[in-house]
């Protein structure tokens, strides 16, 4: 597209894939058109907010590991028994860069668009239009809007599969999901209810928290910061870390990278799919903020 703001440029990134680079007084960001994938977000004078694997593929037809993959129209393995890529096809396709604007307060909004075509119809019987707005400022804002362009109802799953960067996942804790029912999918799936204590990660963790629109707060004492994930239009939250064995089993993930990431995913999945009538739209979004935490000085 033409007439990009001075704070935005489009260039060739890793693997020859096109990417949008954003640099403002508030933050820097990097978004690939492949999957409309937010690969980097870093507020000025802070550590990166998003984790990106050094082993990630940057290849056409393959997912990018880290950042914020977009999962659509299904989550995880396909549930209808038909073959299809894990987490759907949206993260594997090149999106259109539709808009790029700078707001009066210095933030940048980037808009991406993906519409159904013959290739997507071979994978999945549905016509759709997707618009994805990414806002880069002191916080990272993401809003995914899906419109059913079919003549029949459409059932979808969707997720902002966000990989957050942490100092050491064994030392952080997560608040916001106390009392929430979740499906533990490690081993034999079972239903549990989260207790009152903050969530700590001490083993492979893969949980789908249901019927929740709560904000999650990740406390990271070693980095003296907390990350807040505030969401809208989402009735489920996934908490995931692969731990040791699964990290070694993933070819696009470093064997020793698992301590440095934690996924807190904004989603509508499993018991919370979205059903859209013909012509109906649905929006789901998240805002991620990083906040430095001052520690008390014993001498004061």
Find the helix or strand (DSSP H, E) in which 288 lies: strand 281-292
Among residues 30, 194, 257, 265, the one annotated as catalytic is 265
Query: Taking every pair of C-alpha atoms in the chain, what is the biggest distance, in angstroms?
Result: 69
**Residue 30: strand, helix, or coil:** strand
Burial call 113-122: b when 16+ CB within 10 Å, e when fewer:
ebebeeebee
Is 161 assigned a catalytic role?
Answer: yes
Among residues 34, 37, 87, 161, the one annotated as catalytic is 161
End-to-end CA distance of the chain: 55
Contact present, 137 and 24 (Cβ < 8 Å): yes
For residue 126, the number of C-alpha atoms closer than 13 Å in the C-beta half-sphere is: 21
Is 219 assigned a catalytic role?
Answer: no
Question: Between vectors from CA 10 to CA 5 and to CA 11, what angle results, nearest 5°?
Answer: 150
Residues carrying an active site annotation: 161, 265
């Amino acid at each position: 597209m033409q007439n990009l703001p001075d704070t935005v440029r489009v260039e060739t990134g890793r693997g020859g894939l096109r990417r949008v680079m954003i640099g403002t007084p508030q933050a820097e960001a990097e978004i690939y058109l492949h999957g409309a994938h937010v690969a980097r977000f870093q507020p000025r004078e802070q550590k990166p907010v998003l984790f990106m694997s050094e082993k990630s593929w940057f290849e056409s037809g393959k997912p990018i590991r880290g950042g914020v993959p977009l999962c659509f129209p299904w989550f995880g393995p396909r549930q209808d028994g038909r073959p299809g890529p894990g987490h759907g096809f949206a993260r594997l396709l090149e999106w259109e860069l539709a808009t790029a604007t700078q707001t009066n307060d210095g933030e940048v909004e980037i808009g991406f668009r993906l519409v159904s075509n013959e290739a997507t119809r071979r994978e999945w019987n549905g016509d759709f239009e997707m618009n994805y707005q990414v806002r880069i400022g002191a916080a990272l804002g993401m809003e995914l809007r899906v419109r059913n362009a079919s003549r029949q109802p459409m059932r979808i799953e969707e997720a902002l599969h966000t990989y957050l960067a942490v100092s050491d996942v064994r030392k952080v804790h997560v608040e916001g999901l106390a009392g929430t029912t979740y499906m533990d999918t490690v081993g034999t799936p079972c239903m549990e209810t989260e207790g009152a204590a903050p969530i700590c990660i001490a083993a492979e963790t893969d949980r789908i928290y249901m019927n929740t629109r709560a904000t999650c707060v990740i406390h990271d004492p070693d980095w003296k910061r907390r990350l807040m994930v505030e969401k809208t239009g989402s009735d489920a939250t996934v908490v995931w870390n692969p731990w040791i064995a699964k990290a070694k089993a993933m070819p696009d993930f470093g064997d020793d990278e698992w301590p440095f990431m934690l996924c807190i995913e904004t989603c509508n999945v499993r018991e919370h799919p979205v059903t859209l009538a013909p012509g109906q739209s649905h929006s789901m979004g998240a805002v991620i903020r990083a906040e430095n935490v001052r520690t008390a000085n014993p001498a004061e």
